[in-house]
Amino acid sequence: MKKRPSLSIARFWAIIIKEFIQMRRDRLTFGMIVGIPVVQLMLFGYAINGDPKHLPTAVLMADSGQYSRTLLSALKNSDYFRFVRQIQTEAEGEAALARGEVQFVINIPENFSRNLLRGEKPTVLVEADATDPSATGNAIASLRTLIAAALVNDLKGPLTYLAGSDGPVALRVHARYNPEGVSQYNIVPGLMGVVLTMTMVMITGLAITRERERGTMENLLSMPTRPLEVLLGKIIPYIFVGYIQAGLILVAARFLFHVPMAGSILLLLLTTSVFIAANLAMGITFSTLAKNQLQAVQMTFFFFLPSLLLSGFMFPFRGMPEWAQIIGEVLPLTHFLRIVRGIMLKGNGAGEVLLQLWQITLFALIVLAIGVKRYRKTLD
Amino acid sequence: MTDNLVIDVRGMTKSFGDRTVVNAIGLQVRRGEVYGFLGPNGSGKTTFIRMLCGLLAADAGEGSCLGFDVIRESDLIKRQVGYMTQRFSFYEDLSIAENLDFVARMYGVSNRRDLVKESIERLGLSGRQKQLAGELSGGWKQRLALAACLIHNPQLLLLDEPTAGVDPKARRDFWEQIHELAGQGLTFLITTHYMDEAERCDRLAYLSYGNLLTHGTVSEVIAHGRLTTWSVTGPELNELARRLRGIEGVQQAVAFGSRLHVSGTDAAALEKAITPLRLEPYKWQQIGSGLEDVFIHLMGNSKDNF
């Protein structure tokens, strides 16, 4: 029997040295290895906040008495609510909620001050957009205390009795769109966007780098073809792949998680194609920038991370600082989440959807333009 | 006369960083000619070909290719050029038929189906058209690549080391096909490292480190080298070669199988230099210099810029 060769420190060392040299040569990969944890730290450390405050709130004031004004100014000074505007009709409040412009509509009824003085415990109605239950929970919990504390200064002396043990006013909260606060209703539709972002960007991210690595790019470039033909030609087939994924998630949403479908599924599917195309365009543009497949995968991850964390999928969008929200507004996933949740839970129609869709379209066009510009027609 | 020139370029230059890879090369290739492009690895052959078909942007240079401006009209040139890359560059995960069909669509040929079918039949691959290109042997890959380059009926074929790694029989068949096509009016620019292939070209150009050292027909290139060569047989040729290389008048002593070729540019000086060594058991004989002697001589005189 032959003796097996023993482990050699020299060979082992040779491999170590080679790996270090190769690591040093691939600067971008090395940069990403350093960059990704930094971005993760920034996002998790600064951008994410599970207890969102300053939630936009509209107030419908049917009463102009003293106590309703006190209430309004208390709201304006509160941590959880950010007064954005006063509205005139319930329909206006409804629309603002559907578009996602406000998280709450607070309805102070007619004769609020008079009824309060009469000890009739007037009812303050709060309509909350509860698609994401975690965004509204704490704010609603604080509301009762807020109202009582606001009125305590006004209700002094002979009026003290009105403040009573269970407060001077009754509070009724309507958790709209997701009354039971089922978090799956929020997460499952959102997952559709997350899965599409991840896979679509990756698929086309590899498209050009693969041609380059396999040597087929030289051949492709020697043929009479335009960059747009190549890029669009590589995008379109994967829209079908995206639809398969979207279909799977929608079926699961319906039959496994029983997520309601309040709006039109056709509208949702139409919108999805734009979103898929935007992600594919992002991927193909990464592909024109990356030198090899590994770099393309890393760029995908670099894009996916903020998409996941800043879009409002994992954490309430409104809980983030302004800079994070600005980044979030650029990402297609942010707008797609609003669309999916809007259609499935709120029953939004084309009007509300278009408000978000144009931003996804703009993103896709800009990114594709960069890709076309960056696509090298020569091997230089 | 000029309309008969398929390639007519001057001063083609390309640098990567501060390294000039192609240095002001001019080249004229006539219609129906098989033009050989020779030179050591890294001499700029591939770079020059890539500039011709618009795969690389030239830093300087002018002229025409197929009647189009070589700098500005590369899109038009691409339509009529077939470029066969050094490394197999068709899709290994597509079948033979699918690859040909793709290329035919890219060039927008009419009667695509017929052309693809014809092409497969000509290849003799009718029974295997569904086989993946990646599963083919080197020789078959080369044939497929040539067939794919021909499918859009180009006027000019640029073949970059088409026979590298191909067995001798396949190489011979390949060259027969080339000459047949050239007879039909197709023009070829072919890079190669093989001397037998170089000798089958109508004309040659020899590049070294970006410079065009010589060009012309085989006999012109040899005459241009002005080399006198002696062939020696006998024992211990390595030892003899080592001694010869140190002698003035001997510019090269190169082993060719069991013979040694001793060459110099000054016939008289060479003869004088070898006289003391013309002893038994060595057999000396003056021969006509071959292409290889000339190329080795050219290569020895040019300076490596890497």
H-helix or E-strand containing B182?
A: helix B168-183
CB contact under 8 A, A216 and B55: no
Q: How far is CA A206 from CA A69, A275, B136, B297, in A?
A: 60, 19, 25, 47
CB contact under 8 A, B90 and A223: no
Q: Which residues of chain B does A218 touch, with a Cβ-Cβ cutoff of 8 Å?
A: 55, 85, 87, 89
Same domain flag for B245 and B125: no
Q: What distance lies between CA A114 and its chain's CA centroid?
A: 43
Asked if the structure places residue B217 within a domain, the reply is yes
Asked if the structure places residue B306 within a domain, the reply is no
Task: Report angle CA A324, A327, A330 to the nearest 5 degrees.
Answer: 150
User: Over 90: is that where the pLDDT of A327 sits?
Assistant: yes
The alpha-carbon gap from A219 to the nearest alpha carbon of chain B, in Å, equals 6
Q: How far is CA A47 from CA A51, A315, A325, B9, in A?
A: 12, 10, 9, 60
pLDDT for res A164:
64
Segment A78-92 shows an average pLDDT of 88
CA distance A331 to A329: 6
User: Over 60: is that where the pLDDT of A33 sits?
Assistant: yes
User: Over 70: is that where the pLDDT of A31 sits?
Assistant: yes
CA distance A53 to A75: 12
pLDDT of A160-188, one tens digit each? 766 666 677 888 888 888 888 788 888 88
Amino acid at position A133, single letter: P
Segment A141-149 shows an average pLDDT of 83
Asked if the structure places residue B299 within a domain, the reply is no
Confidence of residue B236 (pLDDT cuts 50, 70, 90): confident
Asked if the structure places residue B73 within a domain, the reply is yes
Confidence of residue B1 (pLDDT cuts 50, 70, 90): very low
The alpha-carbon gap from B255 to the nearest alpha carbon of chain A, in Å, equals 37
The alpha-carbon gap from B90 to the nearest alpha carbon of chain A, in Å, equals 6
Residue identified by tokens 């951008």 is: A47
Same domain flag for B22 and B139: yes
Segment B159-171 shows an average pLDDT of 89
Query: Does residue A380 belong to the interface with chain B, where contact is any CB pair within 8 Å?
Result: yes
Count up the domains in chain B and report the number. 2
pLDDT of A262-301, one tens digit each? 999 999 999 999 999 999 999 999 998 888 888 899 999 8
Same domain flag for B217 and B234: no
Closest CB to B56: pick one of A214, A224, A378: A378
Query: Does residue B284 belong to the interface with chain A, where contact is any CB pair within 8 Å?
Result: no
Q: Are B156 and B66 in contact (CB under 8 A)?
A: yes
pLDDT for res A165:
60
Strand partners, B212: B207
Q: Which residues of chain A does B50 touch, with a Cβ-Cβ cutoff of 8 Å?
A: 379
pLDDT for res A166:
66
Instruction: For residue B76, give the chain A residue with the closest CA.
Output: A224
User: Over 90: is that where the pLDDT of B125 sits?
Assistant: no
Closest CB to B79: pick one of A214, A215, A224: A224
Same domain flag for B56 and B107: yes
User: Over 90: is that where the pLDDT of B149 sits?
Assistant: yes
Q: Which one of B13, B52, B80, B89 makes the best mutation probe of the A interface by having the most chain A beta carbons within 10 Å?
A: B89
Segment B282-305 shows an average pLDDT of 82
Domain end marker among B202, B222, B242: B222
Among A residues 214-253, those touching chain B with beta carbons less than 8 Å apart? 214-219, 221-225
Asked if the structure places residue B168 within a domain, the reply is yes
Segment B196-206 shows an average pLDDT of 92
User: Over 70: is that where the pLDDT of A2 sits?
Assistant: no
pLDDT of A37-50, one tens digit each? 888 888 877 777 77
Q: What distance lies between CA A3 and its chain's CA centroid?
A: 62
User: Over 60: is that where the pLDDT of B275 sits?
Assistant: yes
Q: Are A207 and A287 in contact (CB under 8 A)?
A: yes
Same domain flag for B112 and B179: yes
Same domain flag for B134 and B41: yes
pLDDT for res A162:
67
Q: Nearest-CA neighbor of A277 among A246, A245, A236, A244?
A: A236
Burial of residue B225 (CB within 10 Å: 0-12, 13-18, 19+) is: buried
Domain end marker among B222, B238, B272: B222
H-helix or E-strand containing B258?
A: none
Same domain flag for B238 and B96: no
Structural domain containing residue B152: 2-222
How does B13-46 read in b/e, with b if 16+ C-beta sit within 10 Å? Answer: bbeeeeebbbbebbbbbebbbbbbbbbbebbbbb
Return the higher-pLDDT residue of B261 and A64.
Answer: B261
Domain end marker among B171, B197, B222: B222
Q: How far is CA B150 from CA A47, A248, A349, B84, B118, in A?
A: 59, 45, 55, 10, 12
Same domain flag for B206 and B251: no
Q: Which residues of chain A does B88 touch, with a Cβ-Cβ cutoff of 8 Å?
A: 215
Same domain flag for B82 and B114: yes
CA distance A338 to A355: 10
The alpha-carbon gap from A14 to the nearest alpha carbon of chain B, in Å, equals 26
pLDDT of A55-82, one tens digit each? 899 999 888 888 888 888 888 888 888 8
pLDDT for res A163:
63
Same domain flag for B61 and B149: yes
Amino acid at position A288, single letter: T
Same domain flag for B154 and B270: no
First-to-last CA distance in chain A? 56
Residues 6+ apart with CB under 8 A from A120: none
Residue identified by tokens 């997350």 is: A194
Q: What percent of chain A has pLDDT over 70?
A: 96
CB contact under 8 A, A379 and B88: no
CB contact under 8 A, A223 and B107: yes
Amino acid at position B52, single letter: L
The alpha-carbon gap from B263 to the nearest alpha carbon of chain A, in Å, equals 41
Query: Does residue B105 belong to the interface with chain A, where contact is any CB pair within 8 Å?
Result: no
Domain of B232: which CATH number?
Answer: 3.30.70.100
Asked if the structure places residue B54 within a domain, the reply is yes
Instruction: For residue A378, give the chain B residue with the closest CA.
Output: B55
The alpha-carbon gap from B30 to the nearest alpha carbon of chain A, in Å, equals 22
Q: Which residues of chain A does B92 touch, with a Cβ-Cβ cutoff of 8 Å?
A: 214
CA distance B204 to A15: 45
CA distance B98 to A193: 35
Structural domains of chain A ordered from first start: 55-176 (3.40.1710.10), 183-374 (no CATH)
Instruction: Supply the ipTM of this predicted assembly.
Output: 0.84
pLDDT of A205-232, one tens digit each? 888 899 988 989 999 999 988 888 988 8
Q: Which residues of chain B does A216 touch, with a Cβ-Cβ cutoff of 8 Å?
A: 89-91
Q: Which residues of chain A does B90 touch, with a Cβ-Cβ cutoff of 8 Å?
A: 216, 219
Domain of B181: which CATH number?
Answer: 3.40.50.300
CB contact under 8 A, B89 and A216: yes
Confidence of residue A318 (pLDDT cuts 50, 70, 90): confident
User: How many contacts does A have with B, using Cβ atoms within 8 A?
Assistant: 46
Instruction: For residue B154, give the chain A residue with the closest CA.
Output: A223
Same domain flag for B181 and B271: no
Closest CB to B55: pick one of A214, A225, A379: A379
CB contact under 8 A, A224 and B78: yes
pLDDT of B28-41, one tens digit each? 999 999 999 998 88
Q: Are A215 and B85 in contact (CB under 8 A)?
A: yes
pLDDT for res A112:
86
The alpha-carbon gap from B48 to the nearest alpha carbon of chain A, in Å, equals 13
pLDDT for res A1:
56
Closest CB to A223: pick one of B87, B88, B106: B106
Asked if the structure places residue B298 within a domain, the reply is no
Amino acid at position A287, single letter: S
R_g (Cα) of chain B, nearest Å: 22
Asked if the structure places residue B213 within a domain, the reply is yes
User: Over 50: is that where the pLDDT of B10 sits?
Assistant: yes
pLDDT of B60-115, one tens digit each? 999 999 999 999 998 999 999 999 998 999 999 999 999 999 999 999 999 999 99
A123-129/A81-87 β-pairing: unpaired
Where helices occur in chain A by DSSP H, the ranges are 9-25, 27-42, 66-76, 90-99, 112-117, 133-152, 160-163, 183-214, 216-222, 227-255, 265-289, 293-310, 322-330, 332-341, 350-374
